[in-house]
Amino acid sequence: MKRLLTLFSVFVLGFGSSLGVVSCTVRAKHERDDNDELDRNQDLEILNQIKKEAKQTLSSWWQTKTMIDIIKDYPDQISLFEELVAQLKTKNDGSLTLTSTAISKYRFLHQLLVGFKAEFNNLNQHLQNRYSNYYLDTMPLFLGENDISFDLYNINFNKIAKLVQDTPQAVLGITVQVNIPYEVHFKGMPSQDITFKF
């Protein structure tokens, strides 16, 4: 037994000094770390990338919709378009704002709204897949259903009749300014409402 204790003590003392001790230091909750600032900068960079990609994607989609030919694409909507232009002409400033419920009355405008929502949902899904570590059960972009509005302005062809070969009475046109406020959500960081105007 004495021999066994001697061997055990030699073993413990001989190898005991080679063992290291690891300790942790406790940081106060209010104490900032350099890594915290680095993480925050990376988060802001990702948030800005999401905003930039959303703006570029939505802008390029609207660029493809710059002109709608009512006669060619929506011949059954010509009378509604004429009513809309007549309504615009009665306004003092020649403008009219339509929200999503009023937009649905005019198929040529409603089609823009439906197409935009589909593009918005596709972009949202793409961003969620791309940043899947951050968006487990939420979506990156939020669009209020009734926040979308179209500002319509009458084009006065009487002033530019010299450039148009047809008579000014035969040519009708409006311009549409689209106002779409949406939010970007990312890790609970505050995001200003972004209004997309086109």
pLDDT of residue 57: 92
Does some domain include residue 21?
no
Does some domain include residue 20?
no
The total of structural domains in the chain comes to: 1
pLDDT of residue 149: 87
Question: What is the extent of the structural domain holding 157?
Answer: 40-197
Distance of alpha carbon 90 from alpha carbon 109, whole angstroms:
20
Does some domain include residue 176?
yes
Does some domain include residue 24?
no
Does some domain include residue 27?
no
Q: Where are the alpha helices (DSSP H) in the chain?
A: 2-16, 34-63, 70-73, 78-90, 100-103, 107-130
Burial per residue of 139-161, b for 16 or more beta-carbon CB atoms within 10 angstroms, e otherwise: ebbebeeebbbbebbbeebeeee
Does some domain include residue 161?
yes
* The model's pTM: 0.70
pLDDT of residue 68: 83
pLDDT of residue 94: 77
pLDDT of residue 171: 64
Does some domain include residue 2?
no
Does some domain include residue 48?
yes
Q: What is the pLDDT along the chain (198 residues), one digit of tens a residue?
A: 556 556 556 555 555 555 555 555 665 665 555 566 777 788 889 888 998 999 899 889 988 887 888 888 888 988 998 888 888 888 878 788 988 888 889 998 999 889 989 999 999 999 999 998 888 888 898 888 777 888 888 877 666 666 655 555 566 777 787 878 888 888 877 676 666 665
pLDDT of residue 124: 93
